[in-house]
């Protein structure tokens, strides 16, 4: 439902020469030691040449040292080859820098097997510039001071490494803004740590947004008539994605949804509380989904009653309606709740529906049939 994007760029050590693609008039000879070392590790050289060929022209390179470190951590040969094919810049990191990163990461992820898994998925987050090491250490200490779970801190470092490369003061400011908003909206102090952990784990990139964005969005929603309690509920449902919104986009989607559904402002607020997607989906996406639902025979009153169906694509809705129809369930006249949720949620609902259809309920007051 929410698109959370966890991509990052690896910044090489400042002590190393800046990678530059040579001009056509300059030599583009590859570092044969690097090429041979990568071949020995079964790395897809053609993939490296195609996507990041400049790495093969850099010197010095520490291919063997990087591979040995990964192997020492428990990485298999195939995993090492995969990491270096996807992120060959790793071979440009000095061994001392890599060891420092290893120690830093193990302070929040002590199990080397888990750390290898993180490096495999997010190599650019691990092989970062030594110039960011102090910021990383300070940010780790700060989040530990908040008593955040180590897994949450590790997830933040992996999926949003930029937030750990920036000065700790920026993260402190955003966290204080989130905490203040939570308290101002009536959130209980005892639950704030858990609330903050959930928010950061659901959208680590919230730390990279200006605090003013959060304030503006909350002011806009308050002006739309949401009470303090409703804003806290909405903030929790939107998770960290409240910072991905802006008043102009929310104004457009709310106006479109209200006009399409023909509801009052009070009804619209209730719909938003039940389905925050109404706030962040562009009107062009909402239009396509309304059209798909209505085309499948679903009424507007059904959509208003179960607005969360708007979180599903038209393709998914049609597929689920068809499966339910085979079982004798007509979504056009029944509840749309059975359509909702993830694939797993739907299969569970579908299974219960199937069981209910196949096994008649026992009626304790019905007369029992005796032997003739």
Q: Say how many C-beta atoms besides its own lie within 10 A of residue 212's C-beta.
A: 9
Q: What is the pLDDT tens value at each position of the chain, 372 positions in all?
A: 333 333 333 333 333 333 333 332 233 699 999 999 999 999 999 999 999 999 999 999 999 999 999 999 999 999 999 999 999 999 999 999 999 999 999 999 999 999 999 999 999 999 988 888 999 999 999 999 999 989 999 999 999 999 999 999 999 999 999 999 999 999 998 999 999 988 888 888 889 989 999 999 999 999 999 999 999 988 888 766 788 899 999 999 999 999 999 999 999 999 999 998 889 899 999 999 999 999 999 999 999 999 999 999 999 999 999 999 988 899 999 899 999 989 999 998 888 876 555 544 445 554 544 444
- Of the candidates 347, 343, 342, 320, the one whose C-alpha atom is nearest the C-alpha of residue 332 is 320
Q: Are 174 and 207 in contact (CB under 8 A)?
A: yes
Taking the model in full, what pTM does it have?
Answer: 0.76
DSSP string, 164-217: HHS-HHHHHHHHHHHHHHHHHTT--GGGHHHHHHHHHHH-GGGGGS-HHHHHHH
Distance CA 143, CA 164 (A): 10
pLDDT value of residue 84: 97
Task: Give dist(CA 183, CA 334) in Å, integer.
Answer: 41
CB 129 within 8 A of CB 13: yes
Whether residue 1 contacts residue 117, with contact meaning beta carbons closer than 8 Å, is answered with: no
């Amino acid at each position: 439902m929410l698109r959370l994007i966890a991509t990052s760029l690896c910044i090489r050590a400042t002590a190393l020469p800046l990678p530059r693609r040579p001009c056509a008039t300059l030599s583009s000879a590859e570092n044969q030691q690097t090429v041979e070392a990568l071949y020995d590790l079964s790395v897809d050289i053609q993939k490296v040449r195609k996507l990041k060929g400049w790495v093969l022209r850099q010197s010095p390179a520490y291919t063997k040292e990087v591979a040995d470190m990964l192997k020492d951590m428990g990485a298999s040969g195939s995993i090492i080859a995969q990491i270096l094919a996807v992120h060959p810049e790793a071979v440009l990191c000095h061994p001392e820098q890599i060891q420092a990163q290893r120690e830093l990461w193990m302070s929040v992820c002590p199990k080397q097997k888990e750390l290898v898994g993180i490096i495999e998925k997010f190599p650019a987050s691990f092989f970062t510039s030594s110039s960011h090491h102090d910021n990383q250490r300070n940010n780790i200490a700060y989040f530990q001071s908040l008593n955040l779970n180590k897994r949450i801190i590790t997830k933040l470092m992996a999926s949003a490494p930029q937030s750990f490369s920036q000065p700790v003061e920026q993260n402190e400011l955003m966290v204080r803004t989130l905490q203040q908003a939570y308290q101002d909206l009536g959130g209980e102090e005892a639950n704030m740590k858990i609330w903050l952990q959930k928010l950061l784990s659901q959208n680590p990139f919230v730390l990279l947004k200006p605090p003013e964005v959060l304030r503006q969005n909350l002011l806009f929603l308050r002006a739309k008539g949401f009470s303090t309690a409703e804003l806290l509920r909405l903030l929790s449902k939107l998770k960290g994605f409240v910072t991905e919104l802006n008043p102009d986009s929310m104004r457009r989607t709310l106006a479109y949804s209200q006009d399409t559904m023909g509801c009052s402002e009070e009804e619209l607020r209730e719909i938003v509380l039940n389905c925050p997607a109404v706030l962040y989906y562009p009107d062009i996406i909402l239009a396509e989904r309304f059209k798909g639902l209505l085309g499948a025979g679903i009424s507007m009153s059904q959509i208003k009653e179960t607005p969360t169906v708007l979180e599903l694509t038209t393709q998914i809705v049609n597929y689920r309606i068809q499966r339910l129809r085979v079982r004798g369930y007509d979504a056009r006249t029944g509840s749309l709740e059975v359509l909702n949720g993830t694939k797993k949620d739907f299969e569970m609902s579908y299974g219960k529906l199937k069981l209910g259809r196949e096994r008649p309920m026992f009626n304790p007051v019905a007369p029992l049939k005796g032997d003739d």
